[in-house]
Amino acid sequence: MHATAHEDLHADSAGGRLFVRRWTPPACAHAVPIVLLHDSLGCVELWRDFPAHLAVATRRRVVAYDRLGFGRSDPHPGPIDRDFIKGEASGGFQAVRDALGLDRYIAFGHSVGGGMAVGCAAAHGDACLALVTESAQAFVEDRTLQGIRDAQLTFAQPEKVDRLVRLHGDKAHWVLHAWIDTWLAPAYADWTLDDALVRVRSPLLALHGDRDEFGSELHPQRIAELGGGRAVILDGCGHVPHREQREVVLGHVMPWLASLRD
Q: Dihedral sign, CA of 22, 25, 30, 34? A: negative
N-to-C CA span, the chain: 24
State pLDDT tens for residues 94-146.
Answer: 999 999 999 999 999 999 999 999 999 999 999 999 999 999 999 999 999 99
CA gap 214, 230 in Å, rounded: 20
Percent of the chain surpassing pLDDT 90: 90
CA gap 151, 115 in Å, rounded: 20
Helix (H, G, I), strand (E, B) or coil at 21: strand
Question: Using 50, 70 and 90 to split pLDDT, how confident is the model at 2?
Answer: low
pLDDT(3) > 80: no
The residues facing 230 across adjacent strands are 205
State pLDDT tens for residues 230-243.
Answer: 999 999 999 999 99
Q: What is the pLDDT of residue 120?
A: 98
Q: What is the pLDDT of residue 160?
A: 85
The mean-pLDDT minimum among 1-5, 28-32, 121-125, 238-242 falls in 1-5
**Average pLDDT along the chain:** 96
Quick one: 5-258 is in which CATH superfamily?
Alpha/Beta hydrolase fold, catalytic domain (3.40.50.1820)
pTM value > 0.85: yes
DSSP code per residue over 161-202: HHHHHHHHGGGHHHHHHHHHHHHHSGGGTT-BSHHHHTT--S
State pLDDT tens for residues 145-158.
Answer: 999 999 999 998 88
State pLDDT tens for residues 155-200.
Answer: 988 888 999 999 999 999 999 999 999 999 999 999 999 999 999 9
Instruction: Return the domain boundaries, the chain.
Output: 5-258
